[in-house]
Amino acid sequence: MPKFMDVHRGMKGITAEQLREAHNADLAIEKDEQVHFEMAWADPESGHVYCLSEAPSAEAVQRIHERAGHMADEVHPVPLTVK
């Protein structure tokens, strides 16, 4: 399944609890689109949130985020990964 990195901006001041709630809102409905949100990282100072997912398409990622109430500003396929 392809991997995607999406970016949300404008989340300045986001707390650990708000990040958890937003991520849980995605997890609750992700199966409707065969998406899985693996991890998310947030910078409360700049307001950026990065989400790593597996999904059939960028549009599927965005549909889940939109229904969960937080559309992404960018969704990028990331076919290349290194550890």
Cα–chain center distance at 46: 17
- Min dist CB 8 to its own copies, Å, is 12
Of the candidate spans 28-36, 61-69, 75-83, the one that interacts with its own copies by CB under 8 A turns out to be: 75-83
Contact pick of 25, 33, 36, 40 for its own copies (by CB under 8 A): 40
Between the CA atoms of 21, 27, 32 and 37, what dihedral angle is there, to the nearest 10 degrees?
A: 120
Please tell me whether residue 52 adopts helix, strand or coil conformation.
strand
Residue 83 binds its own copies (CB under 8 A): yes
Contact pick of 31, 41, 56, 73 for its own copies (by CB under 8 A): 41
